[in-house]
Structure 1
């Protein structure tokens, strides 16, 4: 039987933390009805995030340009998983395509896949949340034209609280989903 000394118990208890966990708000994008895309099924590949955005801590840029963690505030889910699932869910709900995150859950292969590579995902000192990078559409059977497109999304922050950063992250992710759907509609 393992016995914990009082000092070890205090160290382990301190590791538990009392940080607040924040969900990324996945409110529906500002579109009316569904966006018609030119395919029936779409796989959303795991989103590639910068190392600082993959961490559980919620970060904000300070006046010097350094990214600082917000005290006692962490993401409720893994950021890569959360963003990937949010994109897939939004595309599935807001388009005529069936969309799912990888690994593809159906026996038949998807008509296309979207690969998102984020180069910047940060709450800036200027009072805005920035999401930039590129997405690529791949289609092995050439159901749709393959392409790579850049995105540059800015969402104003109401304030720099972790809840507002989570809201802005969700809004930016939804805008990205709309850009992907609009690309697939051409």
Structure 2
């Protein structure tokens, strides 16, 4: 019987240590009213490079002291660079008339251009804004368009408190980045 009691206590302590599962939040792009034409017919989006802290599944928010703190009981549904890449590719696909897909390019005919994005900062700020900044480049190996490199610094207001507001702001910020890239590629 003592072994059974020890096992039962161990189970109770193990379950208590696990805590409640965290809520998971998606970053979803929105569709614009009218897609725009680009100088290219197709665009491959390379895997977006994000800071190490943005690879974690926890949702972070900047504190008043400037430290990044975990938002309690909240995680990204997919916090990987692959998820950011997919969201940006989808946003560009919805915003343009070009065929846009994340790498690896799924079609036999190569894409007319390739987009590379490096995010240097992505954070819900203590001042009530969500900010992403970094650099994007468009390469055209076959010379279909002139290649370029641009910087971006996008801030959007949080429309509330908590992780859902952060997720919505993240989606709006990625949409704004997609708009900036699309306008640069516009005819």
> Does 7-16 or 73-82 show the bigger shift?
7-16
Q: Which residue of 2 aligns with 1:22?
A: 25
Distance 2:79 2:39 in 1: 31
Could you list the structure 1 runs, at least 4 aligned residues long, displaced by more than 2 angstroms after superposition: 5-17
Which protein is bigger by CA-based radius of gyration? 2
Q: What is the 5 A alignment of 1:94-109?
A: 94-109=95-110
Distance 1:125 1:38 in 2: 39
Q: What is the 5 A alignment of 1:7-156?
A: 7=10, 10-11=13-14, 14-15=17-18, 17-29=20-32, 32-156=33-157
Q: Which residue of 2 aligns with 1:175?
A: 176
Distance 2:46 2:64 in 1: 35
Number of residues paired by the alignment? 180
Deviation at 1:14, TM superposition (A): 4.0
Distance 2:153 2:76 in 1: 23
Deviation at 1:8, TM superposition (A): 6.0
Identify unmatched segments of 5+ residues in structure 2: 1-6
What SS class does the counterpart of residue 49 from structure 1 fall into? coil
TM-score normalised to structure 1 length: 0.90
Offset from partner CA, 1:58-106 (integer Å, 9 cap, x none)? 0000010000000110001133122211111121122111000011111
Change over 3 Å in CA distance of 1:101–1:13 after alignment to 2: farther
TM-score normalised to structure 2 length: 0.89
Distance 1:10 1:185 in 2: 59
